[in-house]
Amino acid sequence: MLEQDQLNELWIAFKELGQAGITMNHYELAESCGEVCNDPQVWKEFLMEQTVSDYINSEFSILQSTELSKLIKDVSKSRSVGQAQLVNALLKLKEDKKVKSGPAFIYTYIPLSYEQEECTNVQKLDNDPFLKRSDNE
């Protein structure tokens, strides 16, 4: 784990790289910022820090949205099928990034044993309590 002083030094060097730093891997960062740290493993730890990872994802998302907007603006001036396909692919990537949150329920049917069926405090259900029923039934 990185110490706070080293993390701060790496942050400063990383941010000085600007947009180029966001797309660099740990080997490239070690080469570009050798005066701060030339060890790729240290840069790998830096990139795996949650705050750094969140920052990179946020910046990358902004850059991707901006470039997509530029492409969409220019697509009417172009007759390139490739550009239209690229816009379509980027839109799909943007859709896939939407985080689906909320609870996930997984339930299954487990038959009761003979002893469980005979217990007085066990309630046996004959239908699925989670299944949505229409009003016509």
How many structural domains is the chain composed of? 1
Return the sign of the alpha-carbon dihedral for residues 12, 17, 21, 26. negative
Question: For the whole prediction, is pTM greater than 0.75?
Answer: no
Is 14 inside any structural domain?
yes
For the chain, 137 residues long, give each residue's pLDDT as a single digit of tens: 788 999 899 999 999 999 899 889 999 999 999 888 899 999 999 999 999 999 998 998 888 888 888 877 776 676 777 777 777 777 777 766 666 667 776 767 778 888 888 888 888 777 777 777 665 55
Contacts of the segment 124-132: beta carbons below 8 A, 24+ positions apart:
130/105
Q: Is residue 62 a part of any domain in this protein?
A: yes
- Whether residue 102 lies inside any domain: the answer is no
Residue 15 lies in a domain: yes
> Which residue segment(s) compose the domain that 83 sits in?
4-96
Distances (CA, A) of 60 to 28, 52, 63, 66: 18, 12, 5, 10
Classify residue 63: in a domain, yes or no.
yes
Task: Specify if 111 maps to a domain.
Answer: no
Q: With respect to residue 57, please indicate whether it lies within any of the assigned structural domains.
A: yes
- Tell me whether residue 78 is in a domain: yes
